[in-house]
């Protein structure tokens, strides 16, 4: 049985797309028959997975979390991961060392020093919204990451973000698209309980948004559209999944000043299982995204739920959506509101779009296809490395 050292420099949070992706890959590698040592940071509660042994570097004093953007804490944990990876790779005979996002340089170093094949993966898209001092902290790491990608035996990309670093070596890049966070359909009783908890009247129309409160996610556009929607149809109620307690509090105060507080339910961060139930309980799902190039994982969850979608017509949404499976609108409140209202007035169209969306994700974004992509990547590197 081939052994794999898989390295990820991210704490596990069950609502974060990168963490869900890592979980899917570890599960797939176990299904493929690999014995996996998973080296990561000592933050978050990683669920047990068959065939996977969890290893964590020592906890840094007084450090309880890691920001998504560059920081001194991330740099220190990166150095620890590199040291532990090299020690593990010298002690055990790994066939492949796999580095996820920030862990790519550590994986390259461990693989080259131990004679293992190296797979580097880029899941995150470049974050141009980080404050200047965080971008400055990230500058020393960027050349190391590009070097690791260019000199890896294979590169896995969830979207096109890795391609600029691989100019002239594109043949080593394989795209393995994300899949929905939850792999199982929620029980009907769970779905009904979610709907009853959010809505006060049986004929209300539940519109749901999932995502962070970052500007590029388009929450301001959505709340502007909601004002127009509620004036035309007061049955509409919005559920918002995501955000910290502080972010939710700020948005509630702003909505209160607009007279919309009673129309919006903030559910906070939820597990993939609860998310699947909320999406299935909804009548319309919305993605008012303004930036990015890769389909957000939530859009795949939207499609899998079988619920109709209204989304802005931007590259990120277009990566997974077409007019056959969603209502695509211009990125302004008036157009987005009209897209929502069009589906409020047409239950049959909602049903048809939801059915097509579920079929789309079943055919092109299922776990079997995801696992097969990983199988082909590993078969390629092992064949070429030998």
User: pLDDT value at position 296?
Assistant: 85
Assess if CATH 3.40.50.2000 describes domain 188-364: yes
- List, in sequence order, every residue forming a beta bridge with 175; answer none if it has no partner: 157
> What does the alpha-carbon distance between residue 215 and residue 218 come to, in Å, rounded to a whole number?
6
> Do the beta carbons of residue 18 and residue 10 sit within 8 Å?
yes
* Residues with Cβ within 8 Å of residue 278, at least 6 apart in sequence: 194, 198, 208, 239, 241, 267, 270
> What does the alpha-carbon distance between residue 105 and residue 107 come to, in Å, rounded to a whole number?
5
> What does the alpha-carbon distance between residue 11 and residue 102 come to, in Å, rounded to a whole number?
12
191 φ, ψ to 5°?
A: -65, -50
> Do the beta carbons of residue 179 and residue 21 sit within 8 Å?
no
Q: What is the pLDDT of residues 148-205, one digit of tens each?
A: 988 999 999 887 665 665 655 666 788 898 999 888 889 999 999 999 999 988 899 9
CATH 3.40.50.2000 positions along the chain are 3-179+366-385, 188-364
User: pLDDT value at position 81?
Assistant: 95
Locus of tokens 């519109």: 207
User: pLDDT value at position 60?
Assistant: 86
Spans in the chain with pLDDT lower than 70:
69-70, 125-141, 160-171, 386
> What does the alpha-carbon distance between residue 362 and residue 188 come to, in Å, rounded to a whole number?
20
User: pLDDT value at position 338?
Assistant: 98
User: pLDDT value at position 161?
Assistant: 64
Instruction: Tally Cβ neighbours within 10 Å of residue 358.
Output: 18
User: pLDDT value at position 208?
Assistant: 98
- List, in sequence order, every residue forming a beta bridge with 329; answer none if it has no partner: 312
| Angle subtended at Cα 299 by Cα 287 and Cα 321, rounded to the nearest 5 degrees | 85
User: pLDDT value at position 165?
Assistant: 59
DSSP string, 39-51: EE-S-B-PPP-TT
User: pLDDT value at position 128?
Assistant: 44
C-alpha of 338 from chain center: 28
- The CATH superfamily assigned to 3-179+366-385 is Glycogen Phosphorylase B; (3.40.50.2000)
Please list, residue by residue across 134-161, b when 16 or more beta carbons sit within 10 angstroms of its beta carbon and e when fewer do.
beebbeebeebbbebbbebbbbbbbbeb
User: pLDDT value at position 163?
Assistant: 62
User: pLDDT value at position 170?
Assistant: 65
pTM for this predicted structure: 0.86
User: pLDDT value at position 133?
Assistant: 42
């Amino acid at each position: 049985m081939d052994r794999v050292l898989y390295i990820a420099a991210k704490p596990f949070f069950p609502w974060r797309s990168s963490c869900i992706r890592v979980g899917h890959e570890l599960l797939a590698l176990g299904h493929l028959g690999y014995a996996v040592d998973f080296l990561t940071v000592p933050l978050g509660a990683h669920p047990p997975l068959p065939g996977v042994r969890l290893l964590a570097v020592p906890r840094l004093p007084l450090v309880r979390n890691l920001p998504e953007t560059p920081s001194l804490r991330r740099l220190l944990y990166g150095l620890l991961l590199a040291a532990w990876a090299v020690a593990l790779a010298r002690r055990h005979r790994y066939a492949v060392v796999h580095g996820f996002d920030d862990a790519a340089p550590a994986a390259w170093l461990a693989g080259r020093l131990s004679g293992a094949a190296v797979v580097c993966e880029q899941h995150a898209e470049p974050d141009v919204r980080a404050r200047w001092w965080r971008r400055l902290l990230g500058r020393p790491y960027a050349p190391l990451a590009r070097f690791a990608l260019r000199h890896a035996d294979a590169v896995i990309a969830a979207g096109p973000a890795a391609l600029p670093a691989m100019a002239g070596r594109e043949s080593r890049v394989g795209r393995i698209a994300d899949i929905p966070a939850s792999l199982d359909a929620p029980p009907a009783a769970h779905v009904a309980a979610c709907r009853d908890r959010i809505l006060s009247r049986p004929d209300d129309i539940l519109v749901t948004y999932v995502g962070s409160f970052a500007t590029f996610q388009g929450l301001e556009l959505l709340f502007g559209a909601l004002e127009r929607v509620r004036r035309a149809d007061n049955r509409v109620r919005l559920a918002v999944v995501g955000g910290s307690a502080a972010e939710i509090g700020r948005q509630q105060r702003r909505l209160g000043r607009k007279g919309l507080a009673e129309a919006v339910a903030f559910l906070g961060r939820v597990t993939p299982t609860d998310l699947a139930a909320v999406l299935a309980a909804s009548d319309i799902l919305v993605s008012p995204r303004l930036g990015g190039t890769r389909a957000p994982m939530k859009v795949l969850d939207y499609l899998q739920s079988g619920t109709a979608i209204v989304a802005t017509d931007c590259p990120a949404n277009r990566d997974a959506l077409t007019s056959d499976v969603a209502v695509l609108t211009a990125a302004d409140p008036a157009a987005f509101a009209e897209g929502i209202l069009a589906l409020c007035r047409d239950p049959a169209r909602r049903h048809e779009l939801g059915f097509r969306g579920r079929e789309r994700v079943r055919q092109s974004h299922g776990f079997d296809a995801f696992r097969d992509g990983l199988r082909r990547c590993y078969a390629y590197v092992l064949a070429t490395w030998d």
